Structure 1
């Protein structure tokens, strides 16, 4: 495909010593031919500008001729992060101004002031940068039909980050609605890290009713290759690679040396706790008082904006951040990216590495800092995958019914609707092509009455069908209630952290805050704080110089991808490849090989051994934490049924360790696939998992409201409400649409049923059981985990504190080896 580049754009590129790259020109050509487009290009390749190039061209005088520039909202840009939208605005304003194009650009998110939001609906900019949630809310207003009637293009950035989850479901439904309002709409998606571009083409394409044959309407544009990334693994200079732990505290002195040696270093962590912990440790050794910042999603908007601005101006030497900044943010002066702890996936690592240099012709430099020996192997596997250009990613799954219920309510808030027309619109998205009339009727019944078991309560009556068959709101106030509570991201309930003068620092989770009392200190937003009082939903604090604990957060764990897990397993049996490992890691694997066996791609290794008057079994599944936690609960239940007196279990991404008072002589019966029928169902129903899932889908589906005018329910109040409803539905309406949605969540997200099933199938003909006299070297990392799960029934108290060095010493003894 070839496109004629408007001279205004060509001259601007030339004036900067640049050229319009092939993939950017192809994006313009795809737009000119009336096609949707998916652009897959390396970080620094100018993806965002490529996505916006057709929009800029539409405003160029050379293309307009005597015609007036477009009026109204022309282009929507949707990103998974607020920070990314603000960064794109900064970087888009420059070319627009320098080309002299009459384009107004604004952002809209939960942080946008209400008066600006109102004005944007009546007098929209030409380009609006927003998030999936804010877009869905815009579509809930009656004036959305006028607002989006002029829409020509929607640009979805970092599409891999959310298309396969519930935020992607919400966006897919919004795309279907936008296409109905503006049939001329062109869809554009951008990504640097897609393992399966064809799957994303199908997701992006608007479908005919239930038909998946529209992929040809989406052009696949592949970017010019860039310089390969330079990735290295940081190792202790004098100490050994640790046996356990994830914080990599050992690396702080070396990390500080990196900060001193570079202009700007971006340090990524996988959790908010680790971000605060790493920042605090860095500050403790910051003898040069270098400007170092911190950024994560729980900080206040002001704090985040201040840090983002300082980075954009090149005022920081280092920034410690979570995933709140790992997508697309363009700060060209970053010359080194550090990943603290295991990256968990090659695509995620590649995305974070790309934040360095951010130029296609220069290699991005990254340093991986493993917290323990398994994390070293994972880091090496991720480095190998990046070097080989291999990506990993999540598979698409059917859209969630709780998200569909929220969207139906949003549509009702905008205008009365005909159910057949709305169903056809919904089914034009791949995520919901599976929804038939029966399923849709169940969703409508839920939105209208709450369902059979709840229909007697007026509070659940939100929409009603009139005599003509049209659905409409039962009362106008339902629209305001919907907009107050709509959203997909369900974090733990949060309390504001404020100084007495009212300045907000951000939020901490309610479960952490309720344990605080006046005089307690905690570290947050990079400073030590002393609690003065707790009132309503706020923690009032003052600055302190006392030592302080760091808040913990209950956010979802980043799962180890199947792709990376397979690479680690292959490395374990590649004995010649061990030569590139540090001496202590190589010795660890060699002693394991002598004393026991190594788990490989073609077997499921289970080791059994006595330790401290208990009998342990370690299952090397490499299936991720969620699947291993689920397996732990199921195996210990079967051990209980067989009189093996289980005590407790611990799990990490790589393995599961279970102990009991009697030895496991044959693990095969504990792992038979039939465990996923009655026993799995019984366990999930009796555990907290289904209640937790129901709590989330009830909020997303609008059954339980967190927010009321001027007041927000506490986490305890929400939990109390959802638990009551859950018990009613479980007893009187077990096939309720939200119970079905909760089950889907519990199976896929909380228990990772797919990977668990793979482990159980592998156990049938690939199980290797090794009985040992003592703990093996490979078992040490999981054995030293603190905070093991104890069982609610038939459990034996676990008072044992496992000492890492003593266990390691026993595992690595070689006096009995040949």
Structure 2
């Protein structure tokens, strides 16, 4: 037994765990020991094995061993990406310290925390504070805020993989660096699930050379059972959503066979739809099934989460709002409806079931169209090979930098040298030049070169001793109201006329509805009575039909890792292995694709041309996700137009895209390779899209984060249209008069990195360059092309309803073949 294991703190915790019939996992013991030896680091462990207690109890043990090293006030700062996580964590930690007999206070601080509690915290911080990155930055806006962090011994960042790769991750980096400058003995610990680039994730979180670091990886593995729910028959010509309600008869028995089931969809719109579909299929589930997403009132969300923990709900239809580490022990089954779009997301959701160690996580995959069964096969292969996506960290996000500098100025103020040291040692700004830094200082004080004539951009004043400070109460108030990096459309609260909130709805959706219109929210059919200020007043409706809201930012793209496995499985689909039940089930569809056109092998790239009465169709199948496919479609249309000026209609899904023209498309064996060439790629991409318009839309969010455009004001919040108008004007002025403005440059960088996915696009064309191009002429739509064609019909006007048009096209294809 080591000296550490003989220590008083370790003994107390080991005895407490023994009293609960538990023993620490080796990764927990190692974390406790390394923390006691002065290390910072990262814990990597499967869901349900106690990652939280590996770090939390490390601090408790260290406190019990060295009580004199800890001062009154905050000892542990716990940063969590979701509010729902915070409540659950606080409850688990409080139970632990009560049983251990430790006189600590553990509290949560986020947007839901009552004002009275916040004021009490500001007088004396709890021993453990659980918060979000945004709320942490709001604390920096308080007067004399350094006192809150002076004696913090540890910052723990929970679910670091969720924050990494976003601007919220940059907020976290900056916050840690600031607190490290205040608390000299600070230790930093990250808690993460497995991702592809763990080493890089650790260095981004802890880039400090003066800290000893370690990565603690659990040897324990979580068992995962993936079960595909097969439809009754294979639709030879599938289309997105064609299985839909038909699969409800398969889902209901799964719900009844388990104690509590989480049913994951990718969007809030889909969750509302599936809640209604399941209730219609099984009315007896009324009162036993709930719906959970980010637009539902937080008190209702809290009730649902508590009901899951108590085991009083049979099923909950949800979105990513329940993706992360909330400990729902009664959940013994997860259903994924439709594509999860990524390997990590699928595994994260699977981990919600069988949350206790050594329980098997069980997840059912319910396809919404036949081709998604190839994805199940791909997911199984990825899990078998333990392949998971990377999370790429963001760098040089100057909008976040500007917001942070103003936050410091609203709070205690800052001196240039001190702030530069805090910022430049983060990973996100380690590449920042002196010119970049000087631009940021000039921007917050006079608005930069172009906007210096406008007083509203002179936010920060430089006092005689060199202190950068915001002295205007109005500027300080508006800044506090707009801290954060999540920019959404204006949200209106939905409230019953009789009192009681239902949730939130986006302004752009509700603006299209009239009084007395019916819509669905939180699983209820509601009728609009009136819209006043930022509130939609409603009453319950008895209508059988109602509109399901759509929220902006709906569709997720397929990740590159999952795309790669899908191409592999498609190439193997003609001769599936004995255990490939999904590919075997799909054989009629696969055989029809091979008969009418071709099944592309891994080293082949398929191009299909189909001439119909409505025009000339060109289909290509990069399997690179919706966003990249859209860029490739625009690029190919641009290159073809150089051969012959044509107008195209473009449609795409995650697998491929369609170009439709009313004239013959000049592609044949002699030029198809050059049209798909990797040469001059990015120049042609820029020529094929309106990069300025795309950058202008990106600039909208950047302008809000940087404070150029104020989204939230007392009693008012600008909607998307108003934000785009205000930011668009500034964008055009900067393009004309200050093209080197860093926020302007950032907008173009984000377009290339996030929308055009430049790295993935170049890799796709390298792969196509090395592939054999297979050009096929088909007489009718093929199983691969049909779903893309149907997607294009959704956006076209016709006197026929969509279902009738689809049936007519399917019948015509059968006749031709």
TM-score of the pair, normalised by structure 2: 0.93
Higher mean alpha-carbon deviation, 151-160 vs 497-506, is at 497-506
Contact 2:238-2:783 at 8 Å conserved across structures: no
Determine the structure 2 residue equivalent to 1:506. Answer: 503
Q: Does 1:718 align with 2:692?
A: no
Give the conservation status (yes or no) of the 8 Å contact 1:339–1:366: yes
Q: 1:336-378 CA distances to partner (integer Å, 9 max, x unpaired)?
A: 0111111111211111111112112111111011112332111
Partner residue, 2:205: 204
Alignment of 1:413-428 (within 5 A): 413-428=410-425
Match of 2:83 in 1: 82
| Alignment check: 8 A CA contact 1:415 1:472 kept | yes
Show the counterpart of 1:558.
Answer: 556
1:262 aligns to what SS in structure 2? coil
User: Secondary structure, in 3 states, of the residue corresponding to 1:573?
Assistant: helix
Q: Match of 1:193, SS?
A: coil
Does the 8 Å CA contact 1:619/1:657 hold for their aligned counterparts?
A: yes
Pick from 778, 791, 794: which aligns with 1:785? Answer: 791
The 5-angstrom pairing of residues 226-237 of structure 1 reads 226-237=221-232
Query: Matched residues in 2 for 1:395 and 1:611: separation?
Result: 44
| Aligned twin of 2:592 | 591
Give the match for residue 685 of structure 2.
680
Contact 2:170 2:394 in 1 (8 A): no
CA 1:39–1:798: 2 relative to 1, 3 Å: farther
Other structure's SS at 2:529 match: strand
Alignment partners' CA distance in 2, 1:799 and 1:430 = 56
C-alpha contact 2:145 2:412 (8 A) present in aligned 1: no
> 1:252 matched to which residue of 2?
248
Render the CA deviation track for 1:163-217: whole Å, top value 9, x for unaligned: 1111101111111111111121111111222222111111121335xxxxx7x83
**1:458 Cα shift?**
0.2
SS in structure 1 at match of 2:553: coil
Number of aligned pairs?
A: 801
Which residues of structure 2 form unaligned runs of 5+? none
Cα distance in structure 2, aligned partners of 1:417 and 1:302: 39
- Map 1:252-331 → 2, pairs under 5 A: 252-290=248-286, 291-331=288-328
Q: Which moved more, 1:688-697 or 1:698-707?
A: 688-697
Q: For residues 397 and 813 of structure 1, do their structure 2 counterparts lie closer, same or farther at Cα, with a shift above 3 Å needed?
A: farther
2:199 and 2:138 map into 1 onto residues whose CA distance is 30
Q: Give the Cα–Cα distance (whole angstroms) in 2 for the partners of residues 347 and 491 of structure 1.
A: 25
Q: In the alignment, what sits opposite 2:358?
A: 361
CA apart distance, 1:59? 4.0
Q: Is residue 269–residue 340 contact of structure 1 (8 Å, CA) maintained in 2? A: yes
* Corresponding residue number in structure 2 for 1:114: 115
1:127-206 equivalences in 2 (<5 Å)? 127-206=128-207
Structure-2 change in CA distance of 1:70 and 1:474 (3 Å): closer
599 and 807 in structure 1: CA distance in 2 versus 1, 3 angstrom threshold = farther
- Helix, strand or coil at the partner of 1:431: coil
Q: Tell me: CA distance 1:800–1:532, structure 2 relative to 1, closer, same or farther (3 Å).
A: closer
Q: Distance in 2 between matches of 1:412 and 1:138?
A: 12
Structure-1 residue corresponding to 2:524 = 527
SS at match of 2:316: strand
Alpha-carbon distance between aligned partners in 2 of 1:342 and 1:721, rounded to the nearest angstrom:
37
- Cα deviation code 1:396-452 (max 9, x no counterpart): 342411111111111212223222321221121112111121111122222222221
Distance 1:285 1:435 in 2: 57
Determine if the alignment matches structure 1 residue 731 to structure 2 residue 736.
yes
Corresponding residue number in structure 2 for 1:224: 219
- Asked whether the 8 Å contact 1:193–1:351 carries over to 2, the reply is no
Tell me by how many angstroms 1:510 deviates. 1.3
Q: 1:700 aligns with which of 701, 705, 708?
A: 705
Cα distance, 1:265–1:811 mapped onto 2, change above 3 Å:
same
- 2:547 alignment partner in structure 1: 549
Distance across 1 between alignment mates of 2:767 and 2:430: 33
User: CA 1:375 to 1:448, structure 2 compared with 1: closer, same or farther past 3 Å?
Assistant: farther
CA 198–720 in structure 1, closer or farther in 2 if over 3 Å, else same: same
* Residue 445 (structure 2) aligns with: 448
Distance in 1 (CA, whole Å) between partners of 2:277 and 2:165 is 36
Residue 766 of structure 1 and its aligned partner are, at CA, apart by: 2.6
Moved over 6 A (4+): 796-802
CA deviation vs aligned residue, 1:9-34 (integer Å, no higher than 9, x gap): 11111111110111111111111111
Alpha-carbon spacing, 1:756–1:471, altered in 2? closer, same or farther (3 Å): same
1:211 matched residue in structure 2: none
Q: Match for residue 633 of structure 2?
A: 632
Q: Is the 8 A contact 1:492 1:555 kept in 2?
A: no
Q: Does structure 2 conserve the Cα–Cα contact (< 8 Å) formed by 1:603 and 1:767?
A: yes
* 1:462-477 map, 5 Å: 462-477=459-474
Q: Report which stretch shifted further, 679-688 or 41-50.
A: 679-688
CA distance in 2, matches of 1:43, 1:178: 29
* Greater displacement, 568-577 / 698-707: 568-577
Q: Secondary structure at the match of 1:77?
A: strand
Q: 1:251 offset after TM fit, Å?
A: 1.3
Give the CA deviation at 1:466.
Answer: 4.1
CA separation of 1:374/1:423 partners in 2, compared to 1, >3 Å: closer, same or farther?
farther
SS of corresponding position for 1:230: strand
1:567 to 542, 565, 568: 565
CA distance in 2, matches of 1:155, 1:563: 29
Q: Cα distance, 1:724 vs. partner?
A: 1.7
Judge conservation of contact 1:623–1:653 (CA < 8 Å) in 2: yes
Structure 2 CA distance for partners of 1:440 and 1:455, relative to 1, 3 Å: same
Moved more, 290-299 or 802-811: 802-811
2:480 aligns to what SS in structure 1? helix
1:490 is the counterpart of 2:487: yes
Contact 2:377 2:569 in 1 (8 A): no
- Residue deviations 1:687-715 (CA, integer Å, cap 9, x gap): 64222201100001111111123332333
Which piece of structure 1 moves more, 411-420 or 579-588?
Answer: 579-588
Shift of 1:675: 5.7
**CA contact 1:393–1:561 (8 Å) conserved in 2:** no
Q: Is the contact between residue 74 and residue 151 of structure 1 (CA under 8 Å) also seen in structure 2?
A: yes
User: What does residue range 754-765 of structure 1 map to in structure 2 within 5 Å?
Assistant: 754-765=759-770
Could you list the runs of 5+ residues in structure 1 that have no partner in the other structure? 209-213, 791-795
Alpha carbons of 1:177 and 1:69: their partners in 2 closer, same or farther (altered >3 Å)? closer
What SS does the aligned partner of 2:331 have?
coil
Query: 3-state DSSP class of the match of 1:557?
Result: coil
Q: Which residue of 2 aligns with 1:690?
A: 695
Deviation at residue 228 of structure 1 after TM alignment:
1.3
- Quote the Cα distance in structure 2 between the aligned partners of 1:673 and 1:239: 37
1:578–1:447 CA distance, 2 compared to 1 (3 A): farther
Q: CA, structure 1 residues 810+393, in 2 after alignment: closer, same or farther (shift >3 Å)?
A: farther
Question: For residues 680 and 464 of structure 1, what CA distance do their matches in structure 2 show?
Answer: 43
RMSD, matched Cα: 2.5
Bigger Cα displacement from structure 2, 21-30 vs 610-619:
610-619
| 2-structure distance, mates of 1:301, 1:797 | 41
The C-alpha deviation readout for 1:504-531, integer Å capped at 9, x for no partner, is: 2111111110011011101111100011
Residues of 1 paired with 2:553 and 2:531: CA distance? 23
> Displacement of 1:569 after TM fit?
0.7
- Distance in structure 2 (CA, Å) of the matches to 1:266 and 1:72: 39
Counterpart of 2:745?
740
The more displaced of 426-435 and 568-577 is 568-577
Displacement after TM superposition at 1:255 (Å): 0.9
